[in-house]
Chains A and B, each alone.
Chain A
């Protein structure tokens, strides 16, 4: 440029220059888009490739669970909870049972608590495995996803063995589990403990130190701890931002205090940290499952609470009390006392809370689910502001927003 002499006749007259008009592009990301993993819409204002602002529309699969719950007996609400975070439904189911047990003062035997811990940690693995492998898909590594899906299938087989269902599990009963761990279930859990580590290690090998993956995820969609707390982050996303808050440790439920495990914490709250926190949590979950299955206590798998726990079927045919309780429970004629309770469990995405108010009837007077996805998803526009569209996709997928939980 330096040696070009700008002579007066080389400079175009002002009138010849077209007026520069800056215009933002509006881009509709969603409601159904293969990269959003669920039905929610983002109307993005784009300046070229950069996102200027975003507006979210949610509620596409809102099913009014809180309203439906107001007309259902307590045991029938379980099936609503597993339709929230369907990637880790046992945590939702058992969290609801624990809320009711806390409310009614039912003491659950150790064996049932350990079985629950095993199921909840397996559910956490399936939840994180999806999130992390999908993150791989979004950065262009499809193979890992298909490979680890086989392992999720094995966990689903364990679910089938324990509760008969795979996705919407309806697992456990108020007061314990609906059946004991069968020998097949125990064998499958042991097999999973053995066969999962090599697969997870291979996924780590594919992604953890992968140049492309790191370039795509480090410093992408980061959020400071202060903002994360203000936005109500919990779970892996909060831990990735640097705070070691975990409900399992802070308010242990279902005998979590018996197990030895670490809470991984990130530093930058970016996509890579979220990935790494989830990755480490899978190892820790596996450790918990191993401890629980090896130290599984003997004893009953349900509480001695005949007014809430369905009696064994052969008893129903033979004894009058069992028949009466069976009838009353099935018809939902068991009244709960009046009162209110809040109970939280560490769901796949964070603190899954149940706030229940009872007026003494057979159904809750008001039931509110504190869904972690719903609360932290509102930070998404702030997190992807200024980043490119392809990075915004990664940010969303690393947040692990589950549409069912988001909309309830």
Chain B
């Protein structure tokens, strides 16, 4: 059984201060890295001889509009079937320079996951072979999951947020 401590130390030994903010919410090792190091970190975990964290479970985006310089975050979930070990890796990127390298070179599954993240948040994955919208129509000129687009029509007056605890 692989422990979070072990993997965290190995990553710190390899990447030094490029990996930081280690946490364990609900037992899952969570860490952050920079966009320069994300692909090397993913590759290191995938090709590690004993860990074998070979499976990319998920890629998704999150937006934190109030965090200046770190408005967007890309979250990677990886899984090792040999050790039944999961790890979550986060990368924060600024809105002004909304680029991150693609993981399609490492995992074929990253293709659509990154397209979905682009479609929802407008995060640009550099080097992606076919970065275009996937679920929404191509003519759409905004990124719907961003917080500045409210769910409901703002002009409606019959739904007062305060009455619904919002």
CB B51 to nearest CB in A, in angstroms, measures: 15
A71 at interface by CB-CB < 8 Å = yes
CA gap between A232 and B58 in the complex, in Å: 9
Q: What 0/1 pattern do residues 46 to 65 of B give for CB contact below 8 A with A? A: 00000000111110101100
CB neighbours (8 Å) of A267 from chain B are none
Q: Are B88 and A230 in contact (CB under 8 A)?
A: no
Q: Are B84 and A250 in contact (CB under 8 A)?
A: yes
CB B68 to nearest CB in A, in angstroms, measures: 17
Quick one: which of B62, B109, B136 has the most chain A CB within 10 A? B109
Cross-chain contact of B57 among A58, A353, A374 (Cβ < 8 A): A353
Take A251-B84, A342-B28, A353-B58 as given contacts and tell me if A379 and B134 are in contact as well, using a CB distance cutoff of 8 Å.
no
B22 at interface by CB-CB < 8 Å = no
The stretch of B2-10, B92-100, B144-152 in contact with A is B144-152
CB A306 to nearest CB in B, in angstroms, measures: 19
CB neighbours (8 Å) of A66 from chain B are 120, 145
Q: What 0/1 pattern do residues 334 to 377 of A give for CB contact below 8 A with B? A: 00000111101000000101010100001001101010001111
CB neighbours (8 Å) of B134 from chain A are 58-59
Chain B residues with a Cβ closer than 8 Å to the other chain, count: 38
CB neighbours (8 Å) of B144 from chain A are 64, 67
State the main secondary structure of chain A at its contact with B: mixed
Q: Are A331 and B165 in contact (CB under 8 A)?
A: yes
CA gap between A243 and B151 in the complex, in Å: 41
Q: Are B86 and A342 in contact (CB under 8 A)?
A: yes
Cross-chain contact of A379 among B60, B108, B113, B151 (Cβ < 8 A): B108
CB A31 to nearest CB in B, in angstroms, measures: 13
Chain A residues with a Cβ closer than 8 Å to the other chain, count: 45
Task: Report B147-166 residues with CB < 8 Å from chain A CB.
Answer: 151-152, 164-166
CB neighbours (8 Å) of A407 from chain B are 135
CB neighbours (8 Å) of B111 from chain A are 378
Cross-chain contact of B135 among A58, A245, A351 (Cβ < 8 A): A58
Task: Report A121-174 residues with CB < 8 Å from chain B CB.
Answer: none
CB B48 to nearest CB in A, in angstroms, measures: 15
CB B71 to nearest CB in A, in angstroms, measures: 13
CB neighbours (8 Å) of A331 from chain B are 164-165
CA gap between A376 and B113 in the complex, in Å: 11
Question: Who on chain A is nearest to B130 by CB?
Answer: A55
Question: Who on chain A is nearest to B120 by CB?
Answer: A66
B35 at interface by CB-CB < 8 Å = no
Task: Report A250-269 residues with CB < 8 Å from chain B CB.
Answer: 250-251
Take A230-B108, A375-B109 as given contacts and tell me if A342 and B151 are in contact as well, using a CB distance cutoff of 8 Å.
no
Question: Footprint of B on A, CB under 8 Å?
Answer: 58-59, 62, 64, 66-68, 70-71, 102-103, 227, 229-232, 243, 245, 250-251, 331-333, 339-342, 344, 351, 353, 355, 357, 362, 365-366, 368, 370, 374-379, 407-408
- 25 A-B pairs within 8 Å (CB atoms) are namely A59-B136, A62-B135, A66-B145, A67-B145, A68-B151, A70-B151, A71-B166, A102-B26, A229-B54, A231-B109, A232-B55, A232-B57, A232-B113, A245-B81, A331-B164, A340-B25, A342-B28, A353-B57, A355-B58, A365-B62, A368-B58, A368-B60, A375-B109, A375-B113, A378-B109
